[in-house]
Amino acid sequence: MSRQRFILAAITAIMAQPLMAAHEFAGRDTAQGQVLYAENCASCHGTNLEGQPNWRTPDENGILPAPPHDETGHTWHHDSVFLFQYVKFGGQAVMDAMNVANFTSGMPEFGGTLSDDQIIDILAYIQSTWPEQAQQVQASRTQGH
């Protein structure tokens, strides 16, 4: 099995899990998510979710700086499954699985260090900081969950 096929199979398996089927950000432990965010994500995405400067401009190696997770970024444009997979498998695996060519991701995978529950708590914390309207848009893009 090629790496790409393996990742696709892994993603399909994940999506079939009950955890993802019932995957709402509501009712999660956002306080725990905030602590885990500070420990694992803030170094790149910023203590206040502000991201890195000039986050739309790739560096000399073609890698993007970390985008903000607050409402000025695009995290709330993505459905929950995409966000979960981006954190669990890392940006490169998700982009490869989506056949996005010529993209080198700067987003590490956390599947080896964080549990699924911890990842969802972090995403729920991030989501809890968005204005109501952004939360609604994000929820509407998450179909069947």
Q: Which spans of this chain sit near ligand HEC (rule: CB under 6 A)?
A: 40-41, 43-45, 64-67, 73-75, 78, 83, 86-87, 91, 105-108, 110, 122
CA atoms within 13 A on the CB side of 16: 6
DSSP string, 14-42: HHHSHHHHT--STT--HHHHHHHHHHHTH
Work out how close the CB of 71 gets to ligand HEC at its nearest, in angstroms, rounded to a whole number.
11
Of 8 and 79, nearer to ligand HEC (C-beta) is: 79
CB of 55 to ligand HEC, least distance (A): 8
Nearer to ligand HEC by C-beta: 1 or 140?
A: 140
Q: Of 15, 119, 139, 132, which Cα lies nearest the Cα of 77?
A: 139
Least CB distance to ligand HEC at residue 101 (A):
14
